[in-house]
């Protein structure tokens, strides 16, 4: 059997992109706050007062991952959890003053990092790139439905 051309495998390319992103994130943005933690903090800055499930949906994190991210951000003092007055089982999330300060600092750093990350592409290519990966990512969200077992197409 011949070797497979991995340059035609989206998972392989996505992993390579993720490795590059991880390296840039740790060197240019933060070694303490991860990209998913920043995404959640960013969602709470955009929409303070959402619950944990909604925050996870906004950034594409599953239930166990969002729970861990919320826990870590809370331990760092970057968000507050307040019991929902209309549903005592739910907690509403808001960034703290420290969370807002950290978000502002990291937002500037992520903008610089993204310039470097996307530097091989022209402005028009970036638009196409974002459109394409967003479409694939949005479609992939549908594959996560635990009620529907993943099956290979026939």
To the nearest 10 degrees (0 to 180), the angle between helices 35-46 and 52-59 is: 110
CA angle 48, 40, 16 (to 5 degrees): 155
Supply 87's token pair: 């549903």
Could you give the CA distance from residue 90 to residue 88 in angstroms, rounded to a whole number? 6
Looking at the DSSP bridge assignments, the partners of residue 94 are 80
Residue 5 lies in a domain: no
Global confidence as pTM: 0.86
Contact 106, 38 (CB under 8 A): yes
Residue 3 lies in a domain: no
Could you give the CA distance from residue 107 to residue 103 in angstroms, rounded to a whole number? 6
Residue 91 lies in a domain: yes
Residue 122 lies in a domain: yes
Residue 73 lies in a domain: yes
Domain residues for 120? Answer: 30-140
Contact 99, 119 (CB under 8 A): no
Residue 145 lies in a domain: no
Residue 136 lies in a domain: yes
Domains: count for the chain? 1
Q: Rounded to the nearest 5°, which phi and psi values hold at 56?
A: -60, -40
What is the residue-level pLDDT of the chain in tens, covering all 154 positions? 999 999 999 999 999 999 999 999 999 999 999 999 999 999 999 999 999 999 999 999 999 999 999 999 999 999 999 998 988 889 999 999 999 999 999 999 999 999 999 999 999 999 999 999 999 988 887 776 555 544 445 4
């Amino acid at each position: 059997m011949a070797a497979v051309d991995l340059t035609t495998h989206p998972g392989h390319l996505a992993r390579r992109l993720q490795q590059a992103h991880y390296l840039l994130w740790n060197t240019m943005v933060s070694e303490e706050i991860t990209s998913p933690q920043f995404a959640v903090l960013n969602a709470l800055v955009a929409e303070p007062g959402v619950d944990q499930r909604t925050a996870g949906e906004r950034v594409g994190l599953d239930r166990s991952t969002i729970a861990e991210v919320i826990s870590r951000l809370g331990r760092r003092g970057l968000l507050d959890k307040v019991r929902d007055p209309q549903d005592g089982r739910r907690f509403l999330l808001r960034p703290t003053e420290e969370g807002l300060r950290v978000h502002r600092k990291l937002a500037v750093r992520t903008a610089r990092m993204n310039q470097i990350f996307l530097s091989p592409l022209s402005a028009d290519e970036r638009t196409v790139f974002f459109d394409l990966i967003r479409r694939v990512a949005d479609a992939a969200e549908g594959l996560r439905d635990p009620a529907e077992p993943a099956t290979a197409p026939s």
